[in-house]
Amino acid sequence: MENVTLEVKGMSCGHCVNAVENNVGALVGVSKVSVNLGEGKVEIEFNPSEVTLEEIKDVIDDQGYDVI
């Protein structure tokens, strides 16, 4: 398992947290997603043999947020 913390811009409310956590969490290989709204960070635990960091970032981008 690999852990990564991404800086994400554009998240401002509970809906944003749910959108990121639910969509990233639905990816095969992602075991944990935690959004810190105040800091604009998303902590993700994932299996790199099942899902790539780029795929995770793409899902966040698809929700309308910018990964820095």
- Per-residue model confidence (pLDDT) at position 23: 98
- Please tell me the total count of domains within the chain: 1
What's the domain range around 7? 2-67
* CB contact at 8 A, 14 and 59: no
Tens digit of each residue's pLDDT (9 = 90 or more) over 5-30:
999 999 999 999 999 999 999 999 99
Task: Identify the CATH number of the domain in which residue 7 sits.
Answer: 3.30.70.100
* CB contact at 8 A, 5 and 14: no
Nearest one of 25, 20, 62 to 45, comparing CA atoms: 25
Q: Give dist(CA 41, CA 49) in Å, integer.
A: 23
Residues of the chain above pLDDT 70, percent: 100
